[in-house]
Amino acid sequence: MTFEWPFILWALVALPLLVWAYLRLQWRRPRGVVLVPDVEMLARAAGGRGRWRRWVPPALYLLGIGMVLIGLARPAAPLPVPAREGVVVLSIDVSRSMLADDFKPNRMAGAKLAAHEFVQSLPGGFRVGLVTFSSYATTVVPPTTDRARIHDAIDLLTPEYATAIGEGLLEAVWDLPGRVRPLAGAGAGALPAPLAPPGRLPTGVVVLLSDGQSNRGTHPLEAARIARDLQVKVYTVGVGTPEGTTLTVSGRSILVRLDEETLRGMAETAGGAYHRTTNVGELRRVYRHLGRQIGWERRPTEVTALAAGTALACLIAAVVSSRLLVHRVL
């Protein structure tokens, strides 16, 4: 927590003095004689029963004064707020293995459902893009704030052949603002020049989902290093299990396995995190979590109103407790 006017906090040193003054008044012996006709009532008042009650009002009053001083110092705390601007690209594996039915009704349907929820969880000003990859990568929708366009594109995803995870990541990276796509003919995985442009690039995030092993194009870890050098944070989501499952394609049974080691290495290289999902429910929770994590940021926010409200509540509670706990008839 920080303060706009921290010098006001020096006034807090007066609180111990107030405590000392209060205790001095409480323990001061009376100078004269007081006649009390009701000795029985005096005995009850002097007894130990309920003695703690008389300390509640001054404690609340002291806390209220302290919160007033803190409020006057204009405190600011890092609170989660919707990101003002940002770009995230969803890169989704659309290889034939996404038809495996270990996710009901299949992995592709689960990925679509989770992608819809991810898009809905982002703040309105966030731009979202969509890339698909199989034997090659394609930008389906460049980053946009038109959510309807993204949702329509997600619904139209269809499975194709092979799995080029590295190409799927690179295609998403080139869609982010400030990142320069290599010239045609530079070769797969070629880097733009210069590799790391001077200064800070606009915030860019890629969320990549895959259920298999890369067998085409740029190596996924090399693609992750390129993303890291271009200041792109990469989150990877694995669908399935390392043991794999059997998928029947054109009358043939094919074993499809999840390459967790590669997906985890990509995320670690590019400063993100890896998540493994084994059913649709887990996949939806992961995407919702990523949406909240990516779409929100902690920003110093002035909380003077919160301090003032707390102070008012303490002072009112001090008055009420004094009436109810101290001055009531014993």
Domains with residue ranges and CATH for the chain: 2-24+42-78+301-326 (no CATH), 83-179+198-278 (3.40.50.410)
Report, in this order, helix, strand and coil percent for the chain, each rounded to 5: 45, 20, 35
- Helix axes of 165-175 and 220-229: crossing angle, nearest 10 degrees: 20
* Bridge partner residues of 298 (DSSP): 80
Tens digit of pLDDT for each residue in 298-326?
777 788 888 888 888 988 888 888 777 76
According to the model, what pLDDT value does residue 188 have?
A: 45
Contact 99, 118 (CB under 8 A): no
CA distances from 290 to 44, 141, 174, 284 (A): 62, 20, 21, 10
Tens digit of pLDDT for each residue in 44-60?
555 555 566 777 888 88
| Beta-carbon count within 10 A of 204 CB | 24
Contact 170, 138 (CB under 8 A): no
User: CA 84 to CA 228: how far, in whole Å?
Assistant: 23
According to the model, what pLDDT value does residue 330 have?
A: 45
Sheet holding 204-210: strands in order across? 137-144, 127-133, 87-93, 204-210, 232-239, 274-277
Contact 255, 261 (CB under 8 A): no
Buried b / exposed e over 30-47, threshold 16 CB at 10 Å, is: eeeeeeeeeeeeeeeeee
The two structure tokens encoding residue 198: 């001077």
| Beta-carbon count within 10 A of 152 CB | 11
* Bridge partner residues of 137 (DSSP): 133
According to the model, what pLDDT value does residue 270 have?
A: 95
According to the model, what pLDDT value does residue 111 have?
A: 92
According to the model, what pLDDT value does residue 86 have?
A: 80
According to the model, what pLDDT value does residue 301 have?
A: 79
CA distances from 237 to 9, 58, 128, 160, 251 (A): 48, 55, 17, 19, 29
According to the model, what pLDDT value does residue 187 have?
A: 47
**Per residue of the chain (330 residues), what is the pLDDT tens digit?**
788 888 888 888 888 887 777 777 766 666 655 555 555 655 555 555 556 677 788 888 888 888 888 888 888 887 766 666 789 999 999 988 888 877 778 889 999 999 999 999 888 778 999 999 999 999 999 999 999 999 999 999 998 888 899 999 999 999 999 898 876 554 444 555 445 555 678 889 999 999 888 888 899 999 999 999 999 999 999 988 777 677 766 667 777 778 899 999 999 999 999 999 988 889 889 988 888 888 766 777 788 888 888 888 988 888 888 777 765 544
Ramachandran angles phi, psi of 292, nearest 5° = -70, -35
